[in-house]
Structure 1
Amino acid sequence: MMIEDMKFVKNFKKITNDAWFKGWHERNGGNLTYRLTEDEVSAVKGFMNEDSEFTPIGINVKNLANEYFLVTGSGKFIRNMTVSLEENAGIAKVDETGENYKIVWGLINGAKPTSELTSHLMSHSIKKEKTNGEYRVIMHSHTTNTIALTFVLPLDGKVFTRELWEMATECPVVFPSGVGVVPWMVPGGAAIARETGKLMNDHDVVIWAHHGMFCAGETLDLTFGLMDTVEKSAEILVKVLSMGGKKQTITSQNFRDLGKAFNVDISEDYLG
C-alpha cells in the first residue's frame, strides 16, 4: 500500500478539499497538521527518509518528542493537496529534545512545511497534555465571516462566544468552552504561537483578529466540523447585523436549560 492509499492520508486530502470548496483557503492561505498514531507511523516507516536535516522549531515542545505530523506546505495551495500530496504536504518528525523538526517524507523539490508550524506545534503540545493525547488535529483557515466580525466586535473572547452562541442553538453544545481571540499579530513566529497556546489551554477555537481561525480536535472530521459550525454562526451574525441587529435572541436561562438537557457544562462566564 502506498502512503496516499492509507486511510489517514485519504481523510487528510478530503478535509483539505472540503475546506477549499468552503472558500476558506484562497491561494496559499491556511494550513493543517495531523499527529500520526503509532500504527500509522509503523505503516509509513518504509517510505521515510530519516537522514534529513533538523530545523529549529523556535519553541520547546518536549511532550511531542519523536512524534510525527502530516503537514501542509508553505506557499502551497490547499486545492492542490488532492492533485499531488507529495509536492504540497509532508511528514515532519520532532526530535527527542522537542526543539527541532525534520521532513521525513514529502515536500519534495525543496518545499518547506507551513510557516505557521510553530503555532501548530505549540497548540498540539498543549492539547496533547490537556486531553491525554486524544487531540491530534490543528486546523487554520481564513474563514470569511469570522474575519469580518473581528472588524466590528470587541476583540474579547467572552463577547465573541456569547454572540456566536446566540446565532444557533447547537453552538454551545459543539463548542461549550467558547472561543478565544488573539489581537492582530505578525503570523508565523514564536510570539503568536505562545499567545495562541495560552488560549488553547481553555478553548478549542482561537480566532486571530483580521486573519482567521485556529481549531483543535480529536479527528480531522471533528475539527473541520467545529470550524464549520463556528463559521456558519459567524455568517448568521453578519446577516443579522446587516438587517439591523437582533430583535430577540436565546437567553442565558435558555442556555442553562440547553446545557442541562444535553449534559453540557456551559460556563457561567458567558451567561452573566
Structure 2
Amino acid sequence: MKMINKKDEILLNVPEIQELMKLTQDMWKMGWDERNGGNISYLLKEENIIPYLSEAYPKRQMVLDFKVELLKNQYLLVTASGEYFRNIIMDPLATLGIIRISEDGNFAEIVWGFEGEGKPTSELSSHLMSHEARLAEDPEHRVIMHTHATNLIAMTFTHVLSEKEMSSTLWKMCTECIVVFPEGVGILPWMIPGTDEIGIETASKMKDFRLVVWPHHGIFGSGATLNEAFGLIETAEKAAEIYMLVKSHPAGIMQEITDQQLIDLAKAFNVKPNPLFLS
C-alpha cells in the first residue's frame, strides 16, 4: 500500500471500506474479476461516514445522464473505472471513491478517493438505477455488486435463456438455492455494457429479482450488506458450477429435486418461491 496521510488512514479504517477492500481481494482470487472486470457500489449510512469526511477534501462534480431522485444527498462508496480488483487492497485511494448525489439528483460529487483524476465505474448508471429500484422494494437495501462469475457466464452459453427455466435449474442444483433466492433470477438479452439502456433494463428487473444475469458477461446482485450480496451471487454460482459439471458428464442428469420437493422445501423454510417458475 502507498504511503497515506493521517486523514486518509482514518477513513480507510471505516468498517465498510475495510470490508470492501477484503471482499474485492477474495472475488479476484475466485477468478470472478479479471483485469478491470467487476464493480461494486455501497450506499453508506450518513452517520457512519460524515464524521470522517473533511471539508478540506478536494471535490469534483460529475453531471449524471439521468436523474436519481431517490438517492439525493446519499453517499456511495464506489469502485473506480478501469481499475483492477486485485489492486484495491494495495492502493485503495486510487481504486475506490465516495460520491454524494446532489439535492436535485442531477449531479454526483466526488468527496473522497479516485486519486489521480479517477472516476466511478463505467457501470455507474446501472448501479444508481438498480439502487433506486431495490430501495423501492426493500428500505434496508445497500449494495449493488457486478462480477464475472465464471460458471454463471458459462451457463448462458449452454442453457436456454429463460428466467423460468434457468431459475428452476439453479434451484434444483443445490438444496439451499430456493431458500436463498426464492424469487429466482432475472435475465436480460445481450446488451452493450456501460450504457443507460442496460442500466434501465437491469433496474427494471431489479424490481422483481435480486440477481440479474447479463448473458455472456456476468451478473448483478444486490443486498442489505456486502456479505449478503456476495453470498447471493456465490450461491447461484455454486449451483451453476454443479450444472456445468453435470452437463459435461456422459450420464447427464439421472435424478433431481422435483418441483414438489422444492415446494415442500420452501414451506419448511418459510419462503415464498416464485409461483410462475414452478409447475
TM-score class normalised by the smaller sequence: over 0.9
Equivalent position of 2:43 in the other structure: 35
- For residue 247 of structure 1, the aligned residue among 240, 250, 254 is 254
Structure 1 unaligned blocks of 5 or more? none
User: May I ask how many residue pairs the two structures share in their alignment?
Assistant: 270
Does 1:2 pair with 2:4? no
Distance verdict in 2 for CA 1:158–1:189, change over 3 Å: same
Structure 1 stretch displaced more, 55-64 or 104-113: 55-64
Distance verdict in 2 for CA 1:102–1:3, change over 3 Å: same
The whole-number CA distance in structure 2 between the counterparts of 1:210 and 1:56 is: 31
Distance verdict in 2 for CA 1:47–1:31, change over 3 Å: farther
Q: Is the Cα contact below 8 Å between 2:98 and 2:112 reproduced in 1? A: yes
- For residue 237 of structure 1, the aligned residue among 239, 243, 249 is 243
Q: Is the Cα contact below 8 Å between 2:32 and 2:147 reproduced in 1? A: yes
The whole-number CA distance in structure 2 between the counterparts of 1:3 and 1:52 is: 16
Does 1:124 pair with 2:128? no
- Map 1:1-272 → 2, pairs under 5 A: 2-46=10-54, 49=57, 52-132=59-139, 134-244=140-250, 245-272=252-279
Q: Is the Cα contact below 8 Å between 1:93 and 1:104 reproduced in 2? A: yes
Q: Is the Cα contact below 8 Å between 2:11 and 2:53 reproduced in 1? A: no
Give deviations 1:181-205, integer Å, cap 9, x for gaps: 1111110011000100110000000
Instruction: After TM superposition, give the deviation of residue 53 of structure 1 in Å.
Output: 3.5
Give deviations 1:72-105, integer Å, cap 9, x for gaps: 0000000111111111110011111212212110
Q: Is the Cα contact below 8 Å between 2:60 and 2:111 reproduced in 1? A: no
Give the residue type in structure 2 aligned to 1:227. I
Identity %: 43
Could you list the structure 1 runs, at least 4 aligned residues long, displaced by more than 6 angstroms after superposition. none
Aligned residue for 1:254, secondary structure, equals helix
Structure 2 unaligned blocks of 5 or more? 1-8
Q: Is the Cα contact below 8 Å between 2:46 and 2:75 reproduced in 1? A: no
Give the residue type in structure 2 aligned to 1:173. V
